[in-house]
Structure 1
Amino acid sequence: MTDSTDLPALEQALSGLTARISSLRDARSAYPGDPGPTLDAALVELDTARDLLRASIGELGKSRRRSGGREGGSNRELKLLRTVYRSLPVPVIILDTAGTVRRVNAEASRLLGSPDGYLTGRAFPLLVDVSRRAAFRSHLTSVLHTGETAAFPTRLAHQGRAHNVRLVLTQLRMPGEPQEMIAAVALPVEVRMPEPEQAVRETEQGPDESLVMAAARRQELMSRLTRLLLDEESLSEPVAIIRAGRLLASHTADWVFADVVRGGTVRRALAIGPGDQPVARLVQTLERMDPSAAPLVRHVLEGGAGVVQEMVEDDGLLGVLPDGSPVLHATRAGSVLSVPIHAGDEVQGVITLLRLRERPPFGLADLALMEDAGAHIGLALRAQRLFQDRAQAADTLQTGVLPRTLPDVPGYDVAAAYHTGSAPKAIGGEFYDVFPVKDGWGFAVGGVVGQGEEAASVTALVRGGLRTLSVWEDDPGAVVSRLNDALVAQDTGMFVMVAAGFVTPGRRGGRVRLASAGNHPPAVLKNDGDVRYTSGGGVPLGIETGAAIPVEEVALAVGETMVLYSDGLAGSRGRSGQEELAYGESRLTEVLARCTGQPATAVVKAVEEDHQAFSGGQVLDEMTMLALRRAR
Structure 2
Amino acid sequence: MGGERAGTGGDREEASAVRPGEVLRRSAGHADPAPSGGLLDLLSVSAVVLDARGRVVFWSPQAQQIFGYSAHEALGRYAARLMVDERHWELVTELFARVMAEGTGWAGAFPIRHKDGSTRLVEFRNVRLEGEDGDFYALGIAADHAALKRAERDLALTSHLFAQSPVGLGIVDTDLRYLVVNPALERINGRPAHRHVGRPVHEVLDFMDPAPVEGALRLVLDSGEPLLDQFAVAPTPADPGGRDHAWSVSYFRLEDSAGQVLGAAVELVDVTEQHRASAEAAEARRRLAMIADASARVGTTLDLETTADELAGSCVPELADLAVVGVLDAVLRGSDRNWTPSGPAAVRTLALAAHAVPALSLPAGHLARYDPEHLVTQCMTTGRPVLAPHLTGEDLARVAPARAAAVLARAGTHSCLAVPLTSRGRVLGALGLARGRNPVPFDDDDAVLALELASRAAVSIDHARYYQNQRQAAEDLQRSLLPQKPPHRPGVDTACRYQPASSICGIGGDWYDVIPLPHDRTALVIGDVMGSGTGAATTMGQLRMATRTLAALEMDPAELLHHLDRITGDLEQQFATCTYAVYDPHRACCRIAAAGHLPPVLLPAGGAPELLDVPTGVPLGVGHVRSRTVRVRVGPGDGLLLYTDGLVETRSHPLDAQLDLLLRLLAGPPRPLEETCDHLLHALRHPDEPDDVALLMARVRSGRGDRGRRS
Deviation at 1:500, TM superposition (A): 0.6
Cα deviations by residue, 1:313-365 (Å, 9 ceiling, x for unpaired): 99869748999xx9999686654433222113222333343434971122333
Output the amino acid matched with 2:535: E
- Residue in structure 2 matched with residue 252 of structure 1 by the alignment: 319
- Decide whether the 8 Å contact of 2:495 with 2:677 is kept in 1: yes
Distance 1:248 1:363, change over 3 A: same
Determine which of 348, 352, 370 is the counterpart of 2:428.
348
Alignment check: 8 A CA contact 1:447 1:497 kept: yes
User: Does residue 558 in structure 1 map to residue 636 in structure 2?
Assistant: yes
Match of 2:698 in 1: 628
Paired residues for 1:155-304 under 5 Å: 185-189=240-244, 192=247, 194=249, 210-211=279-280, 213-232=282-301, 235-238=302-305, 240-241=307-308, 244-245=311-312, 247-256=314-323, 260-263=327-330, 264=339, 266-270=345-349, 276=356, 290-294=369-373, 296-304=375-383
Alignment correspondent of 1:583:
657
Instruction: Give the 3 Å change call, closer, same or farther, for CA 304–600 of structure 1 in structure 2.
Output: closer
Distance 2:678 2:397 in 1: 55
Paired residue type of 1:253: A
Larger Rg: 2
Q: 1:512 to 1:365 in 2, by over 3 A?
A: same
Question: What per-residue deviation string (whole Å, max 9, x for no partner) do you get for residues 455-511 of structure 1?
Answer: 2221121112112332333533443333222223x2535211111112233xx2422
**CA offsets 1:509-556 (integer angstroms, 9 cap, x no match):** 422122322223323233443635233343322223x75232232210
Contact in 1 for aligned 2:234/2:246 (Cα 8 Å): no
Partners of 1:530 and 1:296 in 2: CA distance: 64
2:557 alignment partner in structure 1:
476
Match of residue 581 from structure 2 = 501
1:464 corresponds to: 545
SS state at 1:192 partner:
strand
Correspondence 1:121-140 to 2 at 5 A: none
| CA deviation map 1:367-399 (0-9, x unaligned) | 221111121232133112201211121112221
Q: CA RMSD in A?
A: 4.8
Correspondence for 1:7: none
Instruction: Give the conservation status (yes or no) of the 8 Å contact 1:316–1:327.
Output: no
Amino acid at match of 2:698: L
- Rounded to whole Å, the distance in 2 between the matches of 1:495 and 1:390 is 24
Amino acid at match of 2:380: L
For residue 186 of structure 1, what is the amino acid of its counterpart? G
Look up the match of 1:548: 626
Higher deviation after alignment, 218-227 or 552-561 = 218-227
Alignment partner, residue 451 of structure 2: 371
- Report if aligned partners of 2:299, 2:461 keep a CA contact under 8 Å in 1: no
Deviation per CA, 1:196-230: give whole Å up to 9, x if none: 99969999x99966445534543444345445531
Q: Distance in 2 between matches of 1:503 and 1:378?
A: 54
Q: Is the 8 A contact 2:558 2:629 kept in 1?
A: yes
Q: How does 1:103-142 map to 2 (within 5 A)?
A: none
What is the aligned partner in structure 1 of residue 593 from structure 2?
A: 515
Post-superposition Cα deviations, 1:248-286, rounded to whole Å, max 9, x if no partner, equal 3533224545554444452344597976567968x89xx
**Residues 309 and 335 in structure 1, CA contact (< 8 A), matched pair in contact too:** yes
- Compared with structure 1, are the counterparts of its residues 543 and 268 closer, same or farther at alpha carbon in structure 2 (3 Å cutoff)? closer
Change (3 A) 1:628 1:222: same
Q: Which runs of 5+ in 1 are unaligned?
A: 1-87, 89-149, 153-163, 170-183
How far off its partner does 1:366 sit?
1.4
- CA deviations on 1:430-461 (whole Å, 9 max, x unpaired) are 22221223443211112122222222221121
SS at match of 1:628: strand
Which SS does the other structure have where 1:230 is aligned? coil
Amino acid at match of 1:583: A
Amino acid at match of 1:559: G
The answer on whether the counterparts of 1:165 and 1:187 sit within 8 Å (CA) in structure 2 is: no
State the AA in 2 paired with 1:189: D
CA deviation string 1:410-434 (max 9, x = no partner): 2223233444455676314222221
Q: Distance in 1 between matches of 2:399 and 2:359?
A: 16
Q: Which runs of 5+ in 2 are unaligned?
A: 1-165, 167-205, 209-232, 251-265, 331-338, 703-711
Q: Hey, what does 1:402 align to over in structure 2?
A: 482
Amino acid at match of 2:541: A
Residues of 1 paired with 2:322 and 2:673: CA distance?
A: 55
Question: How many aligned positions are there?
Answer: 442
Residue identity in the other structure for 2:315: L
What secondary structure, in the 3-state scheme, does the structure 2 residue paired with 1:534 have?
coil
The CA distance in 1 between the partners of 2:572 and 2:510, in whole Å, is 16
CA distance in 1, matches of 2:683, 2:377: 56
In 1: Cα distance, 2:425 partner to 2:406 partner: 30
CA contact (8 A) 2:536 2:573 kept: no
Q: CA deviation at 1:189?
A: 3.5
CA distance in 2, matches of 1:432, 1:498: 9
On the 8 A contact 1:510/1:557 being kept in 2, the answer is yes
* Alpha-carbon distance in 1 for matches of 2:682, 2:353: 43
Distance 1:335 1:584 in 2: 56
Greater helix share, structure number: 1
Conserved 8 A contact 1:429-1:459? yes
Structure 1 residues 459, 209: closer, same or farther in 2, change over 3 A?
A: same
- For residues 573 and 274 of structure 1, what CA distance do their matches in structure 2 show? 37
Change (3 A) 1:630 1:374: same
CA distance in 1, matches of 2:408, 2:514: 65
**In the alignment, what sits opposite 1:525?**
603
